[in-house]
Amino acid sequence: MIKNIKMKRCATYSDVGVSIDDCKKINFIYGPNGSGKSTIGKFLYNQNDAVFSCCTTEMYNHSDADILVYNKDFKTRNIVENIDGIFTLGEATIEDINRLNDMKKEYDFKNEELQELKVALDNKKKEYDNLNDIFRDSVWEDILKQNEKEFKDAFTGYRSSKEKFSQFVLEKYQVYKNMPIVTTEDEEEENTIASKDKLLVRSNTLFSTELKMCELIEFSFKDSIPRAQEIETDSIWGEVVVGNKDLPISKLIDYLHNADWVNIGRGFLRGDGICPFCQNETITEEFVEHLNAFFSGEYETKIKKIKNIQLEYETITELIRRTITDILSNDLILEIGGIDRINLSSQLVTLEKVFDNNKILIIKKGQEPGTKIEISSSFSILKQIVEILQNANKSIENNNKLIENKAVEKKKLIDDIWMYLMNEYFKLIAGHLKKLSDCKKGINGISSRVKKYLDVLKIQNDRIMEAGRNITSIQPTVNEINRLLLAYGFDNFKIVPSKMDENSYQIQRPDGSLASNTLSEGEETFISFLYFMQFAKGSLDKDKISNKKIMILDDPISSLDSTILYIVSSMVKALIKEIREGDSDVEQLFILTHNVFFHKEASFVDGRNKEFNDINYWIVTKNDGVSSIRSFGMKNPIKTSYELLWQELRDENKISLVTAQNTMRRILENYFGILGKSIDDTIEKSFETVEEQMICRSLISWINDGSHSIPDDLYIDSYTDSVPRYKAVFREIFVKMDHKAHYDMMMKIENSSVLSN
């Protein structure tokens, strides 16, 4: 049987969804059209449809019953030219049928025992899981929390998950449980447990400060220092760089010491003979040639050298500056390397001053080659910085070696801590494993019995199928449906075995023509319902006629006239009775309807309207396009709903004559009965026509004589089948009793939420 249904993210059901919980043998779900009832039936029919990917069902006792759904889609699928035959018990001796029934009862008895075993198995598995939960919490509190402060490093990696920690404890227990462990103060001996005090001393020593591995300092500029020294001591800085002295013009330039000035002015010559300084035409081609010759050769070579040195020096000094700056920003290197940040920063400031001053002088030399400059040496400062960094690297190496050694000691300490803990909490762990072992034995024992029962049931089911195969036929279904059709006045068609397809039916007119395409909506609805109800006794597969079934009826009285409504109600009530008494292969029934009258008729069990522990009720509604479901448990929410009677009366499209008659009479009985008023014969006589008087009498008969039968309905049907005429008389009764205001109010109410007493 189905235990729970979850409807979510489909049709009118939201992302949050709704739950139909605690389903019983019989389940009534009431709701107006469009509220979401049919979606439930469609989901149960095809739970693998992608549309219902977020919907789920939960079953009782591992049920594998066949799920059968009656709805509009069922009619479309089945009322066709050749209808699939339903196999039920055919002609057989009483002994054959009794023998088959006895086998089925024996199967059901064994199956009930199997379900009890499965429940016991589930409970045992839950007990197993519960033992693990208790153990997980115990070791977390008793082992980790009690020792975390002193030995937190022993629990590294397991302090964020109880599950991981409990598994790790069990792993450690397996390592140490068979080891011959003794307590001694001599920690050098193998398999000895150190005292907690000794472990604490070792722990404080190893873990008092947090040591970290550190990368060695890379200062590649060390190889550039000799080159920086060469640049700073180059002889070119003390030279006066001049041009070719063999030219006539060189004597004047030497005399005036203005070679740099002339060289700069040379760049302003335009080739037109005009002097860029005096603006007179004094520049001859020969003079230009002498100038160019003066600044060629050795002069150009030395100028180029100065520029190359300038670029190289800038590259070297920038590398040194950037390297030292990076070191100063690395706290780990400063800490592990023992570098005095202030001292190194001071050294860098001094070094940068030397570099910056030298670069200014070198630029000046490039601009004025004839000028001598004095470059300061950075060697002594760089030497001190290199010594600082080399000493820091030694400290870092020592630190890393220490950590590597401590890693070995730390591992040994952690192992010793766990050896101590396993000895300390041996009883706790061993006791848990003993309980788990006992529980596991119970699970294995029950599982073995479940397997035996499954084997027995398979054999029994094969026997039932074999016995049923010899006495099953589609003919009993033909006979039963035709009997019901004739009994209820449908004599213009019947079903017959198909001449074309074996084990199929056809709907046939008295003249032999096929009627599947000419049935009225009411006829089609009724015959499809009769066909569906045969599934309660059989199956399309003759090997599965004894399978357990879950049946869903989605508005079975749509398009039915007044007479058939009672027939359907009676058949549903008979099925409910069989299910509740265990006399049917149907183990669970869901009835989804929007019709108040049908709901009340079908739920009126055993002539009473009281609570039963195998019947539950729900109401599904839709607000703002979203469906919601409200559970009423075993309380029928529509058992005396006065408003719902009016709501049924207001439904112009669905209400039939008999539904209207009984709804009106119940309203009159409830309303005027509560007011303590009686409706006398004068009301009836105030109507003008005989037909209206008879209608009035049929409506007030319950109030006057308490009759809850419907003979008057059958009598009136011979005169009229007009619901509007009944409504007109019904309205006039309120008018003549001076309660027209109440009538007007109730007929105008829409979307009423009154669903109970």
For residues 511 and 622, membership in a common domain is answered with yes
617 in any annotated domain: yes
Maximum CA extent, the chain: 156
Q: How far is Cα 315 from Cα 224, in angstroms, rounded to an integer?
A: 10
Q: How far is Cα 485 from Cα 90, in angstroms, rounded to an integer?
A: 20
| Integer CA distances (angstroms), 233 to 90, 386, 647, 743, in order | 122, 20, 111, 119
For residues 634 and 660, membership in a common domain is answered with no
Q: How far is Cα 650 from Cα 594, in angstroms, rounded to an integer?
A: 13
Cβ distance 637 to 755 under 8 Å?
yes
Cβ-Cβ contacts under 8 Å for 187 (sequence gap 6 or more): 194, 198, 416
Confidence of residue 133 (pLDDT cuts 50, 70, 90): very high
Q: How far is Cα 183 from Cα 195, in angstroms, rounded to an integer?
A: 8
Angle formed at CA 430 by CA 425 and CA 434, multiple of 5 degrees:
155
**Is residue 414 packed enough to be buried (19+ CB in 10 Å), middle (13-18) or exposed (0-12)?**
middle
For residues 21 and 86, membership in a common domain is answered with yes
| Integer CA distances (angstroms), 463 to 102, 105, 112, 541, 542, in order | 12, 13, 18, 16, 13
Backbone region of residue 643 per phi and psi (left: phi > 0; alpha: psi in -120 to 50; beta: other values): alpha
Is residue 289 scored above 60 in pLDDT?
no
Sign, CA dihedral 739-744-746-747, equals: positive
Domain's final residue, options 604, 639, 674: 639
Return the number of other C-beta atoms located less than 10 Å from residue 682's C-beta: 8
For residues 591 and 725, membership in a common domain is answered with no
Q: How far is Cα 674 from Cα 666, in angstroms, rounded to an integer?
A: 12
Q: What is the CATH classification number for the domain harbouring 596?
A: 3.40.50.300
Is residue 307 scored above 60 in pLDDT?
yes
Q: Mind listing the pLDDT tens digit for each residue in 458-489?
A: 888 777 766 655 555 566 777 778 888 877 77
Higher pLDDT, 696 or 643: 696
Cβ distance 362 to 375 under 8 Å?
yes
The secondary structure element, H or E, covering residue 60 is: none
Residue 29's DSSP bridge partners are 592, 618
DSSP 8-state code for residue 468: H
For residues 608 and 692, membership in a common domain is answered with no
DSSP string, 213-269: --PPP--GGGGGHHHHHHHHT-GGGG------TTSHHHHHHHHHT-HHHHHHHHTT-
Domain's final residue, options 261, 294, 327: 294
Q: What's the chain's length in residues?
A: 757
In this structure, the strands spanning 615-623 and 182-183 are unpaired
Spatial CA neighbour of 702 closest among 658, 730, 668, 737: 668
20 in any annotated domain: yes
Is residue 657 scored above 80 in pLDDT?
no
Spatial CA neighbour of 598 closest among 641, 555, 632, 633: 555
For residues 681 and 735, membership in a common domain is answered with yes
SS (H, E, C) 286-346: HHHHHHHHHCCCHHHHHHHHHHHHHHHHHHHHHHHHHHHHHHHCCHHHHHHHCCCHHHHHH
515 in any annotated domain: yes
Q: Which pLDDT value is given to residue 458?
A: 83
Residue 72 is encoded by which pair of tokens?
Answer: 């509009």
Higher pLDDT, 596 or 619: 619
For residues 509 and 598, membership in a common domain is answered with yes
DSSP string, 634-666: TS-TTTT-HHHHHHHHH-TTT--HHHHHHHHHH
Please compute the mean of the pLDDT values over residues 585-597 and round it to a whole number. Answer: 86
Q: Which pLDDT value is given to residue 755?
A: 37
Return the number of other C-beta atoms located less than 10 Å from residue 229's C-beta: 15
The secondary structure element, H or E, covering residue 362 is: helix 341-367
Q: Which of 46-60, 79-93, 673-687 has the highest mean pLDDT?
A: 46-60
Q: How far is Cα 431 from Cα 429, in angstroms, rounded to an integer?
A: 5
DSSP 8-state code for residue 200: H
Residue 360 is encoded by which pair of tokens?
Answer: 């200014």
For residues 550 and 619, membership in a common domain is answered with yes
Angle between helices 596-603 and 657-675 (to 10 degrees): 80
For the chain, the 3-state helix, strand and coil shares in percent, each to the nearest 5, are 60, 10, 30
Is residue 90 scored above 50 in pLDDT?
no
Average pLDDT, the chain: 79
Question: Which residue in the block uniquely carries the two structure tokens 């109010």?
Answer: 745
Return the number of other C-beta atoms located less than 10 Å from residue 585's C-beta: 21
Is residue 747 scored above 60 in pLDDT?
yes
For residues 516 and 626, membership in a common domain is answered with yes
Q: Can you tell me whether residue 23 is helix, strand or coil?
A: coil
Number of domains, the chain: 3
For residues 634 and 654, membership in a common domain is answered with no
The secondary structure element, H or E, covering residue 179 is: none
CA atoms within 13 A on the CB side of 146: 11
Residue 183's DSSP bridge partners are 193
415 in any annotated domain: no
Q: Mind listing the pLDDT tens digit for each residue in 490-526?
A: 777 788 877 666 667 788 888 778 877 777 777 778 8
| Integer CA distances (angstroms), 621 to 241, 650, 704, in order | 104, 18, 37
Please compute the mean of the pLDDT values over residues 104-117 and round it to a whole number. Answer: 84
Q: Mind listing the pLDDT tens digit for each residue in 414-470?
A: 888 888 888 888 888 989 989 989 999 999 999 999 999 889 888 887 777 666 555
Segments forming the whole domain that contains residue 279: 244-294
Please compute the mean of the pLDDT values over residues 209-229 and round it to a whole number. Answer: 83
Domain's final residue, options 236, 263, 294: 294
For residues 657 and 629, membership in a common domain is answered with no
DSSP 8-state code for residue 61: T
For residues 507 and 611, membership in a common domain is answered with yes
Q: Can you tell me whether residue 732 is helix, strand or coil?
A: helix
**Is residue 42 packed enough to be buried (19+ CB in 10 Å), middle (13-18) or exposed (0-12)?**
buried
181 in any annotated domain: no
> CA 697, 702, 705, 707: dihedral to nearest 10 degrees?
110
> CA 601, 602, 607, 611: dihedral to nearest 10 degrees?
-120
Confidence of residue 756 (pLDDT cuts 50, 70, 90): very low
Cβ distance 507 to 493 under 8 Å?
yes
Q: How far is Cα 137 from Cα 120, in angstroms, rounded to an integer?
A: 25
Q: Which of 162-166, 279-283, 430-434, 611-615 shows the lowest per-residue confidence on average (mean pLDDT)?
A: 279-283
Contacts 24+ apart (CB under 8 A), 282-285: none
Cβ distance 443 to 125 under 8 Å?
yes
93 in any annotated domain: yes
Q: Which residues of 528-537 are buried (b: 16+ CB within 10 A; e: fewer)?
A: bbbbbbbbbb
Q: Which pLDDT value is given to residue 667?
A: 85
Strand order in the sheet with 586-593: 66-70, 549-554, 586-593, 26-30, 615-623, 626-633
The secondary structure element, H or E, covering residue 719 is: none
Return the number of other C-beta atoms located less than 10 Å from residue 95's C-beta: 8
Confidence of residue 709 (pLDDT cuts 50, 70, 90): very low
Return the number of other C-beta atoms located less than 10 Å from residue 364's C-beta: 12
Is residue 750 scored above 70 in pLDDT?
no
259 in any annotated domain: yes
46 in any annotated domain: yes
Is residue 60 scored above 50 in pLDDT?
yes
Q: Which of 193-207, 441-455, 524-538 has the highest mean pLDDT?
A: 441-455
